[in-house]
Structure 1
Amino acid sequence: MITPDIFCVEDDPDYAFILEHAVKEVKNELTLGVVVDGMSAIEQLNNFVVTKQRPKLILLDLNLPGLSGLDVLKKIKETPFLKYVPVILFSTSDNPKDVKASYEFGANAFVTKPSGYTNLVDCVKSLHDFWFNQNKNIN
């Protein structure tokens, strides 16, 4: 996988497909890399470290098969090379316990997945505007 601008861990292939289209609609040059479970995410994160390339943003589903999103988040924040990559928990959950746990493990934000394509595009526009244009990071 070429290092994407946005690395997404999403186990629903239909949602990943729709997300890819929403990302392209926001900015055609943006690249999105998707893996479908926590173990694949860890493997790809290790590849980023080995190749010394990192995504600009990570979208991480909370409820994944195998390793949970929180397990993956913990690994990201424990890896010095990836520690400062912004990680957004992007989940259907809006349970306050999930939100709190995500922040305790080092998430930069928690966003409940919007319903409907137009709302998803608006959400991706907001994420892009903040994390790619307004936010100052050290990567």
Structure 2
Amino acid sequence: MKPQSEALEILLVEDNPADVDLILESFAETGNGTRLHPVRDGEDAMRFLRQEGEYGEAVRPDLVLLDLNLPRMDGREVLEAIKSDPELKVLPVIVLTSSQARKDITTSYQLHANCYITKPLGLSQFYRIAEAVEGFWQHVAVLPSGR
């Protein structure tokens, strides 16, 4: 296991306010200091990642939690844009969505998602996901950011 590192910076791309609240609460409960930066659609996600407009001072996230079903620019389009951008393509992307459709899973991996997680139903299951994400990406994996 690698040593404790700085807190993770995660871009959360999710349009459902209830899911945003559950995810924020889940990561807060782990006590690891992970900072989530929620945006509600794919266009804002890309502006955040490219530090454009109102996101000019945005931090470079260590990874992205991405819903597939988003307004304006859906998650598949966001994933494709991230993985085809020379500056962003090394950024790990975890698809966190309600879809269990085999087509969505396959398409996400074809677009180079690093992981596909189906959203759970309750807070305790979201908490387990938060712990697993932090445990792996903060303490086991070496991120492109060097954390």
Structure-1-length-normalised TM-score: 0.90
Equivalent residue, structure 2, for 1:131: 137
Q: How does 1:108-119 map to 2 (within 5 A)?
A: 108-119=114-125
Q: Check the 8 A contact 1:114/1:120 in 2, yes or no.
A: yes
Equivalent residue, structure 2, for 1:87: 93
- 108-117 or 78-87: bigger deviation: 78-87
C-alpha separation between the residues in 2 aligned to 1:50 and 1:43? 8
Residue 17 of structure 1, aligned match among 9, 21, 25: 21
Q: Check the 8 A contact 2:62/2:144 in 1, yes or no.
A: no
Q: How does 1:15-94 map to 2 (within 5 A)?
A: 15-47=19-51, 53-94=59-100
The one-letter amino acid paired with 1:138 is: P
SS of equivalent to 2:51: helix
Q: How much does 1:51 deviate?
A: 5.9
Q: RCO greater where, 1 or 2, for CA within 8 Å and sep 6 or more? A: 2
Identity across the alignment (%): 35
Per-residue deviation, residues 92-113 of structure 1 (Å, max 9, x unmatched): 0011100000011110000001
Q: How much does 1:136 deviate?
A: 2.2
Equivalent residue, structure 1, for 2:113: 107
The one-letter amino acid paired with 1:41 is: A
Q: Check the 8 A contact 1:54/1:82 in 2, yes or no.
A: no
Equivalent residue, structure 1, for 2:3: none
Q: Structure 1: 5+ residue runs without aligned partners?
A: none
C-alpha separation between the residues in 1 aligned to 2:58 and 2:86? 12
Q: Which has the higher helix share?
A: 1
